[in-house]
């Protein structure tokens, strides 16, 4: 028995969670892009960053808030209660602001009677601040950026199949087809393909829709979206745990 405990302890130290948050090592700050504010919560030094982008996806926020209290990493949480945000007076899906073309299409979709001058001013502002924001959000070299999302409407892995380079489909039926990984790294895809969850690889930039995943792919950043149905907290927690247990050893140490 003592030997068995000795073997398990390092694993628990890396992936386990303590009963109480380590408040002394948790720092909080804020960052914004074009007036869209994010709270930045950092718990010790880590090469894993997390982001929560849609204010109406409450399950993802609950999980990330709980996770960052006990696990090292830096989390970026949008300071918004609704799905869309305001850039000036215009509505925008925050997961469409990561390219000019994607933001343009979304702004035109979300805002009736939009003038060309107001559209271009908003796009110019996003262009001006996008690199600064992404440079803060992205992980250290060799690190991993994890996004947490919840599907609220009919969105499922079926919507991503045509836009993916590789696919590992375990269950395409409701409700499991709402629970899946999107990743940008081939090695991560191979590992996640061994999980019981659906996973797609999107490493190309063919579909410039303004999402964070496409920007991460274009920059060579390891990115994973953990997508589940809204309310499926235990499923999303298990998916995050799978990433932590199976991809942690693949990460390089953060560089000073």
Please give the pLDDT value at position 249. Answer: 52
CA atoms within 13 A on the CB side of 135: 5
Per the structure, the count of domains in the chain is 1
Binned at pLDDT 50, 70 and 90, residue 16 comes out as: very low
Query: Domain for residue 32, yes or no?
Result: yes
Binned at pLDDT 50, 70 and 90, residue 82 comes out as: very high
Please give the pLDDT value at position 211. Answer: 96
pLDDT in tens, 104-127: 999 999 999 999 999 999 999 999
Most confident of 2-11, 13-22, 107-116, 198-207: 107-116
Query: Domain for residue 8, yes or no?
Result: no
Query: Domain for residue 202, yes or no?
Result: yes
Query: Domain for residue 56, yes or no?
Result: yes
Q: Average the pLDDT over 239-256 and give the result.
A: 72
Distance CA 24, CA 161 (A): 44
pLDDT in tens, 30-44: 999 999 999 999 999
pLDDT in tens, 158-210: 999 999 999 999 988 888 899 999 999 999 999 999 999 999 999 987 788 99
Please give the pLDDT value at position 173. Answer: 85
Residue 83 belongs to what domain range? 19-250
Q: Share the mean pLDDT of the chain.
A: 89
Query: Domain for residue 255, yes or no?
Result: no
CATH number at residue 114: 3.40.630
pLDDT exceeds cutoff 60 at 247: yes
Query: Domain for residue 26, yes or no?
Result: yes
Please give the pLDDT value at position 174. Answer: 83
Please give the pLDDT value at position 45. Answer: 86
Spacing of C-alpha 250 from chain mean position = 18
pLDDT exceeds cutoff 70 at 9: no
Residue that wins the pLDDT comparison between 172 and 148: 148
Query: Domain for residue 10, yes or no?
Result: no
Cis status, amide bond into 175, omega within 30 of 0 = yes
Query: Domain for residue 85, yes or no?
Result: yes
């Amino acid at each position: 028995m003592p030997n068995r405990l000795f073997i398990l302890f390092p694993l628990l130290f890396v992936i386990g969670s303590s009963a109480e948050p380590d408040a002394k090592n948790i720092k909080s700050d804020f960052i914004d892009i074009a007036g869209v504010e994010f709270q930045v919560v950092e718990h010790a030094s880590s090469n894993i960053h997390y982001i929560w982008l849609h204010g109406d996806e409450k399950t993802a926020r609950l999980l990330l808030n709980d996770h960052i209290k006990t696990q090292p990493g830096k989390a970026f949480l949008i300071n918004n209660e609704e799905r869309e945000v305001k850039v000036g007076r215009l509505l925008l899906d925050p997961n469409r602001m990561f390219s000019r073309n994607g933001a343009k299409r979304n702004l035109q979709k979300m805002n009736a009677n939009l003038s060309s001058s107001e559209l271009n001013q908003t796009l110019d502002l996003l262009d001006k601040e996008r690199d600064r924001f992404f440079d803060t959000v992205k992980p250290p070299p060799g690190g991993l950026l994890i996004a947490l999302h919840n599907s609220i409407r009919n969105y499922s892995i079926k919507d991503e199949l045509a836009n993916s380079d590789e696919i590992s489909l375990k269950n395409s039926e409701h409700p499991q087809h709402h629970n899946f990984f999107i990743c940008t790294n081939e090695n991560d895809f191979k590992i996640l393909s061994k999980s019981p969850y659906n996973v797609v690889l999107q490493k190309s930039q063919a579909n410039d829709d303004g999402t964070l995943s496409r920007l991460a792919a274009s920059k060579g950043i390891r990115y994973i979206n953990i997508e589940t149905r809204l309310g499926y907290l235990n499923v999303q927690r298990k998916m995050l745990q799978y990433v932590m247990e199976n991809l942690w050893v693949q990460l390089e140490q953060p560089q000073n």
